[in-house]
Amino acid sequence: MEEYLVSGRRPVAAAEPGAVDLKVSVAVDTGDNLENLLVAVGARALRDEPVGLVLYGHALPTPRFGAEPGLADRVRAGLGLGGVPFFGISQVAGTSVLRALDYARRYLDRSAAYDVPAYDGVLVLGGDQGNTIDSSRHAPGTTSLADTAVAFLVRPDHDGESGRYRYLGGATRRDPRFHRGQRLCPSQLRLFDQVCAEQAADVATIALARAGLSGTDVDWVMPQANAAMSWRAFARRLGVSLDRVRLDMIPAGGHTFGVDALVALANAERGGQLHPGDRCLLVAIGEGAYFQAAVVEVTADGGGP
């Protein structure tokens, strides 16, 4: 991984021992594409439950990862959801998937005047293919960029059933000073680096407050997989011990655009580190500059998605 964290270093053409080959996708196999993965993970998340809406969060414009026109129709057909409304959540960079989660919650909290069955859930899809063009494979001095697809079902509690995670609250923020993203001048980039942890901690504080919590109530922070130094500053500002911030995915898998926090959550789940009652803070940062936080609580073992 060190090969890709040196400022200005371009990816190597072929994999070397101990290096990540960014020209060969880890998630998208030869002859496959991200669209197929979205259908595959979406089908696993559905589990034959009723869905009234599909939201797809992506950081990159879809043409950049090879999607032909008609993506929504093909994904719906592959999932057996023809006719179900399908919306893309984009133009908010790496916060897109957590933003889709927030929108899903708002949809489920809608007024009865909308006359949509309360038992219908929302299928959230997310993911980008980072190996299609050179500029999206590598963030010099920060991280490598990978390919990932994710899907999860957001639904209201009914008949005493709950999913594996309960959504407690969320928040969003934007700092328009940095709207130029990668086109920021050096002085603006330095300023963004200085305030990034502060802004992320502030939006996390708002999300926690909406859930009736504070930083001391957080069991785990699932961060965006980029500069570890920023997350150290974030932890200090929020009052969270650094060992509760899941930074292990930075060297292991790189940056998966808007899916990082969910990858960290899934990795902690697979490692048996999550227990009923744990409060997890999911945080995303996007160029622009966008900040998104979500608070979820782990429910009883053996629950659904």
**Helix, strand, or coil here: 43?**
helix
Predicted confidence band at 176 (pLDDT cuts at 50, 70, 90)? confident
Beta-strand ranges (E) seen in the chain are 51-57, 86-89, 121-128, 138-139, 143-144, 148-154, 165-174, 220-222, 279-286, 290-298
Beta-strand ranges (E) seen in 175-252 are 220-222
Task: Name the segment(s) of the chain with CATH classification 3.40.47.10.
Answer: 2-154, 165-298
Q: How far is CA 285 from CA 74, 132, 181, 204, 295, in A?
A: 30, 22, 12, 11, 15
Q: What is the pTM of this model?
A: 0.82
What does the pLDDT read at residue 189?
72
Is the pLDDT score of 236 beyond 50?
Answer: yes
CA-angle at 269, arms to 263 and 275, nearest 5°: 135
Largest CA distance in the chain: 60
pLDDT digits (tens, 9 = 90+) for 255-269: 777 888 998 898 899
What does the pLDDT read at residue 16?
32
Mean pLDDT of 95-103: 94
Spatial separation of the C-alpha atoms in residues 178 and 180, rounded to whole Å: 6
Q: Which two tokens stand for residue 92?
A: 């908010």
CATH number for region 165-298: 3.40.47.10
Contact 269, 288 (CB under 8 A): no
Is the pLDDT score of 144 beyond 60?
Answer: yes
Predicted confidence band at 253 (pLDDT cuts at 50, 70, 90)? low
Q: Is 258 exposed, middle or buried (0-12, 13-18, 19+ CB in 10 A)?
A: buried
Q: Which of 221-225, 248-252, 283-287 has the lowest mean pLDDT?
A: 248-252
Is the pLDDT score of 13 beyond 90?
Answer: no
Mean pLDDT of 226-237: 78
Spatial separation of the C-alpha atoms in residues 105 and 207, rounded to whole Å: 14
Contact 25, 97 (CB under 8 A): no
Spatial separation of the C-alpha atoms in residues 105 and 295, rounded to whole Å: 12
What does the pLDDT read at residue 11?
32
Is the pLDDT score of 3 beyond 80?
Answer: no
Q: Is 93 left (phi over 0), alpha (psi -120 to 50) or beta?
A: left
What does the pLDDT read at residue 227?
61
CA-angle at 260, arms to 256 and 261, nearest 5°: 170
CATH number for region 2-154: 3.40.47.10
Q: Is 190 exposed, middle or buried (0-12, 13-18, 19+ CB in 10 A)?
A: exposed
What does the pLDDT read at residue 158?
64
Higher per-residue confidence, 48 vs 182: 48
Mean pLDDT of 49-58: 92
Is the pLDDT score of 12 beyond 60?
Answer: no
Strands 143-144 and 138-139: antiparallel
What does the pLDDT read at residue 60?
80
Is the pLDDT score of 76 beyond 80?
Answer: yes
Q: Determine what percent of the chain is predicted with pLDDT higher than 90.
A: 36
Q: Which two tokens stand for residue 29?
A: 């196999």
pLDDT digits (tens, 9 = 90+) for 110-123: 744 466 555 688 99
Which strand (E) or helix (H) includes residue 39? helix 34-46
Mean pLDDT of 24-36: 60
